[in-house]
Structure 1
């Protein structure tokens, strides 16, 4: 399947370039696009893509491919809209957008939202075991802890090509447009700490929201949100699950923590299912699933199959065979709504202004 890439930054270079290089049985990358011509050329050279662009509209107009993989930073809503309108299938990295309105404006088409943890073999195994226990009705609690070091430390091994050739005026206008989207989501008067919380919710915590969607359904409500420490600092979120039980989530940005670590524990009446995820940038590093059963019996399960690679194969199957993705536009919208509820609960608790869609 011939594809085009939009965005040639850190995730593309560290994850997608090596995976697409070894899955040439499924994909041929024929075009790449980035605001930086330096990055477009670097990624194009590594993947053998002959067409390089600095404007999405130009790439879509030229065509020559069947699908678009959107990997750029920020909101993806407008790029996805353009690609779907032009008739291309789209794999869009999370988040799908920053506002509900952007999702509502998307035309009909083949759209898959990328949450690679949903395709992790350990997660799929945990889903199967949970179903055997009785599904969401069996859950007493879900507890999530994320220890998040700096992106620079997580990517130090990757020897990334840096972009220094993008017009500062263009970057400033893009940041202003993104800030306007956040204002649409939260209201023009939403203060910096509410905006920062919303950014973390859609940029990182959304992975955990996507797992809750798979295990229990999206949270029915957000009861409590607190933050502390220097921004982005630490975040605590809790609330009821849609069927039974409650969830609690603690996310900590720890600049110099030795390694990324994410733990998702599902407790039920007779035991627990615990998932421990490594850094997402380490290819084929296994997620550990620990199953605790009555009598304190503990069994650990690991598999080195790369979740990002399974996700890419699932996109190929979606486009060619019609196999439904685990997250479509509806699932991406659910996570945006939950992120807005998180921001709104925090604002209400602290007497801060909240407007826009989140109100």
Structure 2
């Protein structure tokens, strides 16, 4: 399957390009694109692919079956352009900044939103173990150090596009944020785009996986750091989400606990940039009068499983775990969170979320 990649930053260099190189029986990287021409040329030489510094030019040139979208910011415009050309699309989260961008998409049967944690073997095992059990409470804590701390091992070369090349994309992001939030302050926009859609959305996707989207957002708190706390109701049961930016924390750590009537499933995720580092799943249950705790570790790579699922979507029509509906649901939940933080004066789509 011939694919093109747009956006050659951290995700491409640390994850996607290495994985695609070792799965040549499934994928051929036909074209790469970055707004920084030097970055694009370097990746082109590395992969043997054609390289571009203008996404529209790459899409117009064509010659590939699918597009992988790894750019920063909202992905709505790029996804729409690719789908209009009949391409399959794997789009890293978030799908878009606004509901309007997502609702305007057409030909979405071959659209996958990239929440790799849904494909993590520990998550798939937890889904199987949870079958038949109602979630009483879902609890999430994310401890997020600096990006530099997570990527010290990776030797990633930052993309450095010119201000002129970057400006129209930044303007489009601001217009999407205007639609989503109205005239919200810069800190609120940053909380929405950088924290909720940029990181906590993984946990919204896990919530959908285990119990469906949240029924309500009843409580939020934001304090220095930033730290964000969110709580509310599931269709059955409750949830609590806590996200902390901790610049000096020694390592990324994400803990998801799912409590049900017969026990607990606890998942501890390592940094997403450490490929083949196992997520640890601990299941607790009762056997007679004995508490049984079973620990599962699987070194299969979640991003690699996601790529396999994308290949199956394109070649066999197998639906992804998150398509348009799931991506849109997470945007709506993110707007409900921001409305709770900012109050009823929030504008845009969030006002009615």
TM-score (norm 2): 0.96
Deviation at 1:175, TM superposition (A): 2.1
1:90 is matched with 89
Q: Distance in 1 between matches of 2:13 and 2:180?
A: 31
Contact 1:42 1:161 (C-alpha < 8 Å) held by counterparts: no
The answer for the alignment partner of 1:198 in structure 2 is 192
Instruction: Identify the residue that residue 8 of structure 2 maps to in structure 1.
Output: 8
Cα shift at 1:43: 1.7
Displacement of 1:171: 2.5
2:165 matched residue in structure 1: 170
Q: Secondary structure at the match of 2:203?
A: helix
Aligned residues: 346
Deviation at 1:191, TM superposition (A): 1.8
- How far off its partner does 1:96 sit? 0.3
Q: Displacement of 1:130 after TM fit?
A: 0.4
**1:64 partner SS:** coil
What TM-score do the two structures reach when normalised by structure 1?
Answer: 0.94
Answering whether residue 351 of structure 2 is matched by residue 356 of structure 1, we say: no
Q: 2:141 aligns to what?
A: 145
Q: Do structure 1's residue 302 and structure 2's residue 307 form an aligned pair?
A: no
Secondary structure in 2 aligned to 1:319?
A: helix
Hey, what's the Cα distance between the residues in 1 that align with 2:250 and 2:181?
34
Which of 286, 291, 298 is the equivalent residue of 2:283?
291
Shift of 1:329: 0.6
Q: Per-residue displacement from partner, 1:215-249 (whole Å, max 9, x unpaired)?
A: 0000011001101113xx1110000002x110001
1:58 and 1:194 map into 2 onto residues whose CA distance is 34
Say which SS state the counterpart of residue 345 (structure 2) adopts.
coil
Compare 267-276 and 311-320 and name the one that shifted more. 267-276
Q: Do the aligned residues in 1 keep the contact of 2:136 with 2:260 (CA within 8 Å)? A: yes
Give the Å deviation of 1:193.
2.9
Q: In the alignment, which residue of structure 1 is the partner of 2:267?
A: 275
Separation in structure 2 between the aligned mates of residue 161 and residue 192 of structure 1, nearest angstrom: 28
Quote the offset at 1:296 in angstroms: 2.7
State the distance in 2 between where 1:95 and 1:82 align.
16
CA contact (8 A) 2:221 2:229 kept: yes
Query: Is contact 1:112–1:328 with CA below 8 Å preserved after alignment?
Result: yes
- CA drift of 1:57 comes to 1.2
Unpaired runs of 5+ residues, structure 1, are: none
Q: Could you say if the C-alpha distance between residues 319 and 173 of structure 1 is closer, same or farther in structure 2, counting changes exceeding 3 Å?
A: closer
Which consecutive unaligned segments of at least 5 residues does structure 2 have? Answer: none
State the partner residue of 2:248: 256
Contact 1:34–1:54 (CA<8 Å) still a contact in 2? yes
Aligned counterparts of 2:275 and 2:181: Cα–Cα separation in 1? 36
Task: Name the structure 2 match of 1:342.
Answer: 337
Q: Is the 8 A contact 1:143 1:265 kept in 2?
A: yes
- Alignment match, 2:127: 127
Cα shift at 1:162 = 2.6
Q: Give per-residue Cα distances to partners, 1:153-202, cap 9 Å, x unaligned.
A: 111111112333x22133244323212211110112x1233222212110
Q: Match for 2:258 among 266, 272, 279?
A: 266
Structure 1 outlier segments of 4+, above 6 Å: none
Q: Could you tell me how far apart the structure 2 residues matched to 1:201 and 1:172 are?
A: 24
Describe the superposition over 1:281-329 as per-residue Cα deviations: whole angstroms up to 9, x where unpaired. 0010000000011233211001000000000000001100111100001
Q: Could you say which residue in structure 2 is the equivalent of 1:105?
A: 104
User: Is 1:212 paired with 2:207?
Assistant: yes
Deviation at 1:40, TM superposition (A): 0.9
> How far apart in 2 are the matches of 1:46 and 1:315?
23
Distance 1:271 1:163 in 2: 46
RMSD: 1.1
